[in-house]
Amino acid sequence: MRERIRTNELMDDPALPAAEHDHALAGLARLNAWSRSHRLLWDGIAKHARKANAAGRTLRVLDVATGSGDAPIALAKRAHRAGLKLSWTLVDCSAHALSVAESHAREAQVEVKTLVADIVARPLPCEADVVTCSLFLHHCERDGVKRALQHMAQAARTAVGVTDLDRTHRGLWLAWLGSRILSRSPVVHFDAIASVRAAWTPQEMQDISAEAGLASARCTQRWPARWTMWWRAP
């Protein structure tokens, strides 16, 4: 898939009824759990957590554009099983999405803080050791990606970790199949395909990161149709 095609996703519409939004969030959570997308950031987070814990500190993690919070909640549960101490702040521009994330966190017995903020529009009003972002940057145009990366880097004392879809034919087929098997939401069916068509390739992300001032960032392709990027603060 050579050409990037960005279409406004249905779940980004502020007029989307809450019930349809909740249905779509639940479907996306199942898709993410099925693909185990949260695992892509685990190694980097665990490495920084071990270092912080060895120094007697709890690693502070800020997850931006968190949606329903399924990725950080899954990572928090894995960290607990591994005996690592982390604190989590979940950030999103949607207060409704954060209320869903808070509910999921309570059900999972994971303690989180939440903050309404737009990572693209302006710098974050807080900082953390590690700032993470999963499955969001495909929503943005190139300038928006650059601003989001800059704002994440400004808020990160140690590192930034990002993961997202890769724009490939295999990814498009998996999105079509998985969305229909795991969700009955027409919002998910539409948005899953739109997301892959709008996704950035690893090379494109490498180039955008350099333009944003994160020249040391490294973006690597991950199976089956994802990529992961890590940047270490100077």
**Contact predicate 66/72, CB 8 Å:** yes
In angstroms, how far is the first alpha carbon of the chain from the final one? 35
3-class SS string, 187-224: HHHHHHHHHHHHCCCHHHHHHHHHHCCCCCCEEEEECC
Q: How many beta carbons lie within 10 A of that of residue 34, not counting itself?
A: 12
Q: Give the pLDDT confidence score for residue 106 in this predicted structure.
A: 97
For residue 128, give the nearest of 156, 153, 151 by alpha carbon. 156
User: How does pLDDT run across 184-209, given as a tens digit for each residue?
Assistant: 999 999 999 999 999 999 999 999 99
Q: Give the pLDDT confidence score for residue 30 in this predicted structure.
A: 84
Low-confidence ranges of the chain (pLDDT < 70): 1
Q: Which two tokens stand for residue 60?
A: 């502070």
Strand partners, 218: 230
What's the pTM?
A: 0.92
Q: Give the pLDDT confidence score for residue 1 in this predicted structure.
A: 67
Q: Peptide bond preceding 72: is omega within 30 degrees of 0, i.e. cis?
A: no
* Structural domains for the chain: 10-232 (3.40.50.150)
Residue 113 in 3-state DSSP?
Answer: strand
What is the rounded CA–CA span in Å between residue 229 and residue 219?
Answer: 4
**Contact predicate 217/188, CB 8 Å:** no
Q: Which two tokens stand for residue 105?
A: 């966190």
**Contact predicate 145/210, CB 8 Å:** no
Q: How many beta carbons lie within 10 A of that of residue 225, not counting itself?
A: 20
| Residue 38 φ then ψ, to 5° | -65, -25
